Amino acid sequence: MSVQDVVQKQYQRLVDKAAADHAALRTPPEGWFRTVRNALGMSGTQLAKRLGVTRARIPQIEQAELTGAATLKSMQAAAEAMGCRFVYAVLPVGTIQDVIAAQARKKAQALVGRASTHMALEDQALSNAKIAAEVERIAADLMREMPSNFWSDK
């Protein structure tokens, strides 16, 4: 196992642990800022004063969180104004290996699909079971080798 492989595995463990630790974490329907502000018993006017903005800006900030239009900088400032810390993460739905396996299967299906088309034209089509087995074999190879074009769509 190369140093690069060891480093990649360390990153994978770090991300997978964070994903497992936060698997049940869901954004509340009102968004985190409004939810935390309400939990603190802090009014919009009080938060506005702490942030140095107008009262009208608070619903805009809370709405921007819900629509995805908020900037990281504004989210951090609002969290700090409420005495909280802002946490940002990009986490896989399952594990990193699940994401890698899905990409490997996608690439393998494309490769096998192209080959199957040519074989069918030559009246040498494979059965669905053989195609599925070949997709799995190629996907396993791709996951093991991780070629430089692994994440490209071609």
For the segment 5-18, what is each residue's pLDDT rounded down to a tens digit? 899 999 999 999 99
pLDDT at residue 57 is higher than 70? yes
The pLDDT confidence band at residue 33, using thresholds 50, 70 and 90, is very high
CA-to-CA distance for 14 and 34, rounded, in angstroms?
30
- What average pLDDT does this structure show over 64-80? 96
Q: What are the backbone angles phi and psi of residue 147, rounded to the nearest 5°?
A: -60, 165
Amino acid at 5: D
Mean pLDDT of the chain: 90
Tokens of 147: 């070629």
Taking Cα atoms as reference points, which of 1, 6, 11 lies closest to residue 95? 11
Amino acid at 22: H
Tokens 């494979």: give the residue.
126
**First-to-last CA distance in the chain?**
28
pTM of the model: 0.72
